[in-house]
């Protein structure tokens, strides 16, 4: 596939990293092995997005519903997240801006302090914005935004009739960022799974029959190329 100079520049991409458990099961390995391999793919695709000059990429790392998984698996995912937080300081060298989306309250104080420090240190970087959705749920995010605006109404600084889409967007975790151009879901599934429900209102959906641990840079190229051939009308003709 021949790439144009602007093949991916300026795009905003959402990625649902799916299929880690199935990848491990197919190989007779524990599910934790799939998450470990998936974390390696995450790091490589992050670097590739930066090389392609993608504006932002949002990875669905851990949902609000994932706490219901076996404790061994949850602990393994959190261990990998902790390792990522330690390694994330490398993204400062790569000029990535790192933002964490989701409810941080259940996370350890150590994690929360590291997340805040990483966001602060990378806030003025000009490369790809790397959003990591951890303990994230799209409905929870919308409820949170409504609560923020309700408090402003209660305080008398906002009238109910003044609430509009822009104000809601400004209260999302992704405030100030471009909405995703497309949502990518490997693994062959065809659902959003509570991911970026507000932001994805006009995003294209690209699904691929490849498990996340097997996902490559060439797969991302194919997904971007498919998106670039879509006709986006945003409700028009």
Q: 40: annotated binding-site residue? A: no
Q: What are the strands, taking DSSP E only, across 69-113?
A: 97-101
pLDDT at 156 over 90: yes
Nearest alpha-carbon partner for 96 in 52, 141, 40: 52
N- to C-terminal Cα distance for the chain? 30
Nearest alpha-carbon partner for 45 in 89, 5, 15, 85: 15
Question: Hey, what CATH topology would domain 12-137+178-228 get?
Answer: Undecaprenyl pyrophosphate synthetase (3.40.1180)
Burial 143-174 (b: 16+ CB within 10 A, else e): ebbeeebeebeeeeebeeeebeeeeebebbbb
pLDDT at 52 over 90: yes
pLDDT in tens, 28-40: 999 999 999 999 9
98, 88 in Cβ contact below 8 A? yes
The ranges assigned to domains in the chain are: 12-137+178-228
Q: 124: annotated binding-site residue? A: no
pLDDT in tens, 12-28: 999 999 999 999 999 99
Q: Mean pLDDT over residues 176-182, rounded?
A: 96
Q: Which residue numbers are catalytic?
A: 18, 66
55, 222 in Cβ contact below 8 A? no
Q: 190: annotated binding-site residue? A: no
Global pTM? 0.92
């Amino acid at each position: 596939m021949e790439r144009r100079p602007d093949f991916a520049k300026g795009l905003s991409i959402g990625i649902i990293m799916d299929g880690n458990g199935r990848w491990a099961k197919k190989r007779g390995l524990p599910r934790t092995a799939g998450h470990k391999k998936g974390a390696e793919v995450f790091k490589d695709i992050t670097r590739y997005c930066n090389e392609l000059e993608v504006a932002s990429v949002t990875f669905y790392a851990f949902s609000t519903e994932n706490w219901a998984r076996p404790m061994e698996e949850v602990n393994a995912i959190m261990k990998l997240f902790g390792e990522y937080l330690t390694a994330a300081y490398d993204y400062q060298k790569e000029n990535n801006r790192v933002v964490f989306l989701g409810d941080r309250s259940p996370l350890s104080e150590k994690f929360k302090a590291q997340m805040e420090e990483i966001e602060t240190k990378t806030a003025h970087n000009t490369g790809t914005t790397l959003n990591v959705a951890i303990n994230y749920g799209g409905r929870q995010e919308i409820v949170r935004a409504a609560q923020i605006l309700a408090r402003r109404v209660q305080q008398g600084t906002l009238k109910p009739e003044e609430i509009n889409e822009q104000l809601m967007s400004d209260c999302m975790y992704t405030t100030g960022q471009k909405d995703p151009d497309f949502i990518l879901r490997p693994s062959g599934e065809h659902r959003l799974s509570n991911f970026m429900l507000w932001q994805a209102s006009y995003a294209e959906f690209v699904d691929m029959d490849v498990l996340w641990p097997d996902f490559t840079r060439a797969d991302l190229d194919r997904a971007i190329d498919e998106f670039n051939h879509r006709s986006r009308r945003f409700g028009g003709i």
